[in-house]
Structure 1
Amino acid sequence: MVIVPIGYAAQELFDVSQVRGGTPYGATTIAGGDGSRQPSQEELSIARYQGEYVAGLAVKLNG
């Protein structure tokens, strides 16, 4: 198994103007137990970036 952290490559990780998930280890979201908070656009953007990053690395490792 290969663990692929995204580091600080996603620019959204530098935005501290609001509460949000996302760490150098990967995409996360902050949610309450009742599900009232859904992932923000920034959190979704970090998740998309991580997916693209991991897929690109998988292609390189497979090649």
Structure 2
Amino acid sequence: MQIQITGLFGLIILIADIYALINVVQSRRTSTGAKVVWILAILFLPVAGFVAWLLFGPRDK
């Protein structure tokens, strides 16, 4: 049971990170340097990078 819960949590984090990466790459208001920083933060700190992107990331709307 523990392996299934851990695997599910990892899959959710992976999906959230892919969603964040796609949005960073497609962002029109963000400079190239800022995009690189966001991408590195999301890749190297998957949970913290995603949460930071949710709170402080660019808003295209």
**TM-score, length basis structure 1:** 0.34
**TM-score, length basis structure 2:** 0.35
| Between structures 1 and 2, the one with greater helix share | 2
Higher relative contact order (CA 8 A, sep 6+): 2
